[in-house]
Amino acid sequence: MKRFLLAMMAVALASGHAGAADEQAALDKAKTMTKELGGALKQELEKAVKESGFAGAVTMCGAIAVEKAEQTGKAHGASIRRVSKKVRNPSNTPDALEEKILGTMEADLAAGALKEAYVEKETTSSGKRNLRFLKPIVTAAFCLNCHGEESKINPEALKELNSLYPSDKARGYGENQLRGAFSSTVALD
């Protein structure tokens, strides 16, 4: 009986350790995906502005951002996307958990306590366990050329935005405001 109890304790400890290792691996994967996608988008955006101005950047961003996110997620066996409460592309509309976390980010930013990333574990209605990782996207001066107050948006970009996104809500930002987040979902099972 004593051996049985010791064996059960060893299994419990090992499975707890495996769970923590799985969570750390999922967290590492989410961080890597976010860095890869953020870096690729920034590089493509800077290239487009240099070659075609901000109007070209608007066109490029709409054409490749979703594709790059899908490629990054597929390469890592997970998913990643950008989300925002004020969307330009409706596919970036947050789900309920992302909406909640974006609200927390806004409150934290207002309090001067924005974290580098926000992590939640979730269990879906089908019983699947996921790690959700959201990294805030905060506006810089450069972002305001396409996301700022309408009177301050680059004129060529504004024309392109009005043409491509008639229902655009991703405007009116100032510097150092929460634009949205990179949102990664990595399976824990």
CA–CA separation, 130 and 120 (whole Å): 8
| Residue that wins the pLDDT comparison between 189 and 1 | 189
Q: Could you tell me the residue range of the domain that residue 24 belongs to?
A: 2-187
Distance of CA 96 to the CA centre of its chain: 14
158: CB partners within 8 A, 6+ apart: 150
3-state percent breakdown (helix, strand, coil) of the chain, nearest 5 = 60, 15, 25
DSSP helix/strand/coil, 1: coil
| CB burial readout 130-152, b (16+ within 10 A) else e | bbbbbbbbbbeeebbbbbbeeee
State how many domains the chain has: 1
Tokens coding 40: 């690729």
Give residue-wise pLDDT tens across range 93-107. 999 999 999 999 999
Please check the confidence at residue 20 and state whether its pLDDT lies above 80.
Answer: no
Tell me what the pLDDT averaged over the chain comes to. 90
CA–CA separation, 27 and 47 (whole Å): 30
